[in-house]
Amino acid sequence: MVERWKSSSEVRAWVMRRLRPLVSLLLAAAVTLGLVGCGAPSEKETATYSNEQIAQIQTRLQPVQQARERLPELEEAIEARRWSDVESLIHGPLGKLRRDMTYITRQLLPRDREQAEELADRVFDDLERIDAAAKSADRGSAVTNYGRAEQALEGFLDLVPQPDEAA
């Protein structure tokens, strides 16, 4: 039996009646999947460090602490305008600082990780600026960036857990 439609509005009404249950089902599925996808993470974030985590971090911390101990040499070289010594320190003893800080950052708890990344980037950027200042013999820029690098490194080290902070 072939039905004749009197108007396009009748066609639309018939189509809507037929599609309404399907649209409702699709909408319910989308909402359900959206809520499941936005749910809480399956693993709870750890709030403290284990002894093993701290031991790993402390192992990688040694080169960073050694670099910090060498910073006064960099300051002396800047003050004395010994630009080749400045470049040698930056590319020598301080050259692997970024790698070591990045490794430590990855081991930190998520609550500290973002700030540690920012501080590590600041240290590296400031060392690059000191290197550029040494190439152009710009003592003022070197002194300013040295102070920033030192401050950022201290802030980074303050984020690193100590052995007495283990769970």
Find the CATH number of the domain harbouring 55: 1.20.120.290
pLDDT of residue 19: 76
pLDDT of residue 39: 59
Please give the Cα distance from 50 to 64 (Å, whole number): 21
- Asked if the structure places residue 19 within a domain, the reply is no
Total number of domains in the chain: 1
- Asked if the structure places residue 7 within a domain, the reply is no
Please give the Cα distance from 5 to 11 (Å, whole number): 7
Cα diameter, the chain:
102
User: What pTM was estimated for this model as a whole?
Assistant: 0.70
Residues of the chain with pLDDT under 70: 1-6, 36-46, 165-167
38 phi and psi angles, rounded to 5 deg? -95, 5
pLDDT of residue 18: 79
CA-closest candidate to residue 65, choices 132, 139, 162: 162
pLDDT of residue 167: 59
Distances (CA, A) of 69 to 66, 72, 94: 5, 7, 10
- Asked if the structure places residue 84 within a domain, the reply is yes
- Asked if the structure places residue 37 within a domain, the reply is no
